[in-house]
């Protein structure tokens, strides 16, 4: 009995000591320590190289200061303000969402930015490229994120290009975006001549161009000719590889979204594979990146999957929910009488599209990841994680997909020298994941993707810590906060 009591007290003291230590060294959610150390991490870098480790990562303020073999008595452990033990966990660069829209309302109904930000951070997104939102608000949000005043990913603003009636106007509109503080501009539904002039002025102003390339006056050939930075979505790529124009029924009207999306699902099948190869090669040669946003179209190939996503239960804001419901007034809410035939066409459409993205990459093209959430049953954060899975379906290995979501995003943003990698001197944007995403990309989801996985992880799955600019955010805490935002909003409703 005595011996047992002695053992007990030793164990208790050990526990207390350990607990006291972890109390002192545990990072605080949303507060940047002077020196944060992540120990025993297996790292997956943003350049597609194999995982390696374990290593200790030392972060000073907002930069990675040292990456070293684990050692129990290293000086930096004594001077650290916070330590995260990453034993059994994987550390990746923070994910870059190349296609986001800052939204604090949908169809006039309010929804706080905070809701978006917490979902993005909770899903491991440390950078978003905003490709069109309300400029005045976006500029304020960008600044607040930069100073750490709000918990939000880094924000790069590619502002809507408003167009112009003549060359003088077009050039002045581009210069105006630059003067407002744009990192780039977003164009869509643009005619050939306006595009040529706007792109020329953008080059002079050092503005990058994201093109939602549609079935319109311009297509991928123009992107190659005029110096587009990245193609968003896809339409203009197959459109450039047709013989003539797509076959459409005589009563087709592009403004009818049901028709537009229905026949978009029959576009890739009309491409000439040989001509498509030429288009892809031309894009690669012209250094145009491709941000395919597979995830945002998934409702078209499987509507039932889209409307029953498990995270809707706790995390779908009623404002988004109302926006998603079929309504011709809301962009992307077009699912009236969507048929199995539509889905079958879309499944074929995806196959050809995915192969084109893989071929583009194999030819040397840069593929990135974007989600375009806030439309078509796509939730912030979850949309990007689904994009990663769909890129694996397109034929990429998980390691390559992670490079698309990190290093490639940084390249396209022009920030490859300090973002998207786990390297000394780089900005401390990192995520700590409960498990190995190379084995299973489902691992990145917080919850709801697989009941066995949820059980194994005790409901604490997915990304555990998202570190943005040296500030650690505890993902389960963020999700609990989102749940509360949603609960209160539902109550008010």
Distance in Å, CB of 385 to Zn ion, minimum:
18
Distance of CA 155 to the CA centre of its chain: 12
Contact status: 291 vs Zn ion (CB under 5 A): no
Nearest-CB residue for Zn ion: 372
Distance CA 414, CA 392 (A): 25
Interface with Zn ion (CB under 5 A), residue total 1
Residue number with CB closer to Zn ion (156 or 426): 156
Distance in Å, CB of 482 to Zn ion, minimum:
22
Q: How far is CA 246 from CA 23, 93, 252, 266, 373, in A?
A: 64, 41, 12, 9, 28
Distance in Å, CB of 322 to Zn ion, minimum:
19
Residue number with CB closer to Zn ion (212 or 468): 212
Distance in Å, CB of 117 to Zn ion, minimum:
18
Binding map of Zn ion across residues 367-406, x = CB under 5 A, - = no contact: -----x----------------------------------
Q: How far is CA 355 from CA 89, 298, 315, 359, 392, in A?
A: 32, 16, 33, 6, 11
Residue number with CB closer to Zn ion (45 or 372): 372
DSSP secondary structure letter of residue 219: -
* Cβ–Cβ < 8 Å for 242, 271: yes
Distance in Å, CB of 100 to Zn ion, minimum:
8
Residue number with CB closer to Zn ion (33 or 332): 332
Q: Which stretch binds Zn ion (CB under 5 A): 61-69, 143-151, 159-167, 364-372?
A: 364-372
Distance in Å, CB of 372 to Zn ion, minimum:
4
Tokens of 148: 């750490």
Q: Of 159, 286, 155, 136, which Cα lies nearest the Cα of 210?
A: 159
Q: Of 188, 450, 193, 159, which Cα lies nearest the Cα of 311?
A: 450
Distance CA 428, CA 426 (A): 6
Binding map of Zn ion across residues 330-349, x = CB under 5 A, - = no contact: --------------------
Residues 6+ apart with CB under 8 A from 162: 173
Distance in Å, CB of 260 to Zn ion, minimum:
15
Site residues for Zn ion per CB under 5 A: 372
């Amino acid at each position: 009995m005595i011996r047992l009591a002695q053992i007990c007290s030793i164990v208790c003291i050990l526990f207390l000591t350990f607990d006291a230590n972890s109390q002192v060294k545990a990072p605080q959610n949303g507060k940047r320590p002077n020196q944060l150390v992540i120990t025993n991490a297996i790292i997956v870098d943003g350049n597609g190289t194999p995982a390696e480790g374990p290593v200790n990562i030392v972060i000073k303020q907002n930069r990675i200061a040292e990456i070293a073999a684990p050692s129990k008595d290293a000086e930096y452990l004594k001077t650290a303000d916070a330590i995260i033990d990453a034993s059994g966990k994987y550390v990746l660069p923070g994910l870059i969402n190349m296609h986001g829209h800052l939204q604090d309302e949908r169809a006039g109904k309010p929804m706080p930015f905070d809701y978006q930000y917490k979902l993005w951070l909770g899903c491991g997104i440390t950078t978003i490229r905003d490709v069109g939102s309300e400029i005045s608000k976006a500029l304020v949000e960008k600044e607040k994120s930069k100073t750490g005043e709000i918990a939000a990913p880094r924000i790069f603003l590619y502002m809507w290009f408003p167009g112009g009636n003549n060359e003088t106007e077009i050039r002045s509109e581009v210069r105006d975006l630059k003067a407002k503080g744009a990192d780039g501009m977003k164009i869509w539904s643009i005619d050939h001549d306006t595009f040529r002039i706007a792109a020329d002025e953008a080059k002079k102003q050092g503005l990058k161009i994201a093109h939602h390339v549609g079935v319109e006056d311009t297509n991928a050939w123009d992107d190659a000719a005029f110096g587009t930075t990245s193609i968003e979505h896809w339409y203009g790529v197959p459109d450039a590889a047709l013989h003539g124009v797509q076959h459409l029924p005589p009563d087709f009207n592009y403004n009818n979204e049901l028709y537009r999306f229905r026949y978009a699902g029959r576009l890739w099948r009309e491409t000439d594979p040989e001509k498509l190869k030429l288009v892809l090669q031309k894009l690669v040669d012209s250094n145009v990146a491709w941000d395919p946003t597979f995830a945002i179209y998934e409702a078209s190939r499987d509507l039932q999957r889209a409307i029953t996503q498990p995270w809707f239960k706790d995390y779908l804001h009623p404002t988004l929910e109302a926006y998603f419901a079929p309504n011709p007034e809301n962009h992307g809410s077009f699912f009236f009488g969507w048929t199995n035939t539509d889905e079958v066409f879309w499944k074929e459409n995806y196959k050809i599209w995915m192969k084109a993205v893989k071929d583009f990459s194999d030819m040397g093209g840069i593929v990135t990841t974007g989600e375009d959430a806030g439309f078509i049953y796509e939730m912030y954060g979850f949309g990007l994680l689904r994009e990663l899975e769909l890129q694996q379906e397109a034929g990429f290995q998980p390691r390559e997909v992670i490079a698309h979501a990190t290093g490639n995003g940084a390249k396209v943003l022009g920030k490859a020298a300090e973002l998207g990698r786990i390297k000394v001197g780089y900005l401390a944007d990192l995520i700590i994941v409960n498990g190995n995403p190379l084995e299973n990309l489902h691992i990145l989801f917080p919850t709801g993707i697989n009941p066995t996985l949820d059980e194994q992880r005790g409901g604490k799955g997915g990304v555990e810590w998202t570190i943005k600019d040296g500030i650690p955010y505890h993902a389960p805490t963020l999700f609990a906060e989102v749940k509360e935002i949603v609960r209160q909003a539902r109550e008010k409703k």
